[in-house]
A and B are shown apart, each in its own frame.
Chain A
């Protein structure tokens, strides 16, 4: 049997009044006082449920789940272009497995957390931008994320521009690369980092960062396979 609760004129049909009464259902509307057991599928807004429970509407379809004891309220909802899972009360959103503690989630400050080997669910500090490029001669950009361009300003000096600006300049910059033995006469080791030599102004803004590579003689020297990653 399929139970249909449809649109503005909801109806539930039972085989006879005795069955309806035994289910605790009123005959002319009101609250269900007993348990509602359905052996088939349930469709809300559809006469052809595609699953055990199928909820359909032409607008933003929403299923709300609330706990009146501690005030936790949340929902799953269809939006214009995405599927939303959120809490409506001021509580974190958590994911857990095997009936255990939270393994991932979003706290009320918007921080994304996950376990993934940490030992407990902890805040994930994301890489906000990264680029890997060949920095000698004609630059080849191998890959990037949130980087719009790489500018070679001088030998061993580059400016990385972000596709989307960062929220502030308190980010960390991690650089690494390999020596270009064809143009460097200074030999290893290289130094990679934020542009900070006395003769070179530091560039570190929300939209771009200047980085450099130097050889053992502290001379600017081009780097191959130069990787720059921005963390915040």
Chain B
């Protein structure tokens, strides 16, 4: 199983470092750990990471285990919902002005 390097980053999230196959031809993942990662980074099997990457920014690292922080996850969902709602509202206002769907698309993409 492929190995990766993980550590808690400055945002409180989890950074995952993937060595390039090119570099592993002449070096080890321990070399990458020493060269590219902070002192508190650790090596784990990639299979130990959560399989659902949808809320990657909600991942947290505790005692070597990566889990999804539900509070951060909800904040992401709320932000996405707000963005979707704002876009739908803007589109509705344009439509109310009499613009056709094609004209709206030409305007905002």
Contact = CB atoms under 8 A, between A and B. Distances in A.
Contact of B19 (A138, A149, A155): A149
B53 A150 contact: no
Contacts of A137: 53, 56
A148 B53 contact: no
Given A151-B17, A155-B56, A185 B84 contact: yes
A149 B83 contact: no
Nearest to A182: B54
A155 B18 contact: no
B20 interface: yes
**Which of B9, B56, B87 has most chain A Cβ within 10 Å?**
B56
Interface of B: 5, 9, 11, 13, 15-23, 27, 32, 35-37, 46, 49, 53-54, 56-57, 80, 83-84, 87, 109
Contacts of A187: 109
A141 B20 contact: yes
Contacts of B16: 139, 151-152
B109 A149 contact: no
Contacts, number: 82
Nearest to B19: A149
Contacts of B21: 141, 144
A161 B57 CA distance: 21
14 contacts: A131-B20, A136-B53, A138-B49, A139-B18, A141-B18, A145-B22, A149-B17, A149-B23, A149-B32, A154-B13, A155-B57, A185-B83, A187-B109, A216-B109
B23 A148 contact: yes
A3 B56 CA distance: 77
Given A148-B23, A187-B109, A219-B83, 20 more contacts: A131-B20, A138-B46, A138-B49, A139-B18, A144-B21, A148-B19, A148-B35, A149-B5, A149-B18, A151-B15, A151-B36, A151-B37, A152-B18, A152-B56, A153-B9, A153-B15, A154-B11, A163-B22, A186-B83, A216-B109
